[in-house]
Amino acid sequence: MSTVTREGTTFRPRKRLPTIAFASEQWEARVLATYGLNVPTLYRRAGAFIDKILKGANPADLPVEQPTKFELLINLKDR
């Protein structure tokens, strides 16, 4: 697996391989496509859980939530 940074992946520029990443933040690193969770939505949900805990809710009583929003981004410019 390669490391994705803003400058690009560690192997993609050398071998010219199209790369697919899992987070939309990595899309800016010139990968071909990303498919994954909507991270800002996860942070908002985590904030709601923290709010409930700080208001006195028992963490063991809170339901486990699965992500419901996913993103598919395709980079058409950098081909």
What digits encode the pLDDT tens for the residues 26-63? 766 677 888 888 888 889 999 999 999 999 999 999 99
The structure's pTM equals 0.55
Q: What distances in angstroms separate CA 77 from CA 27, 59, 71, one per listed residue?
A: 12, 45, 18
At 13, the amino acid letter reads: P
Predicted confidence (pLDDT) per residue in 45-54, tens digit: 999 999 999 9
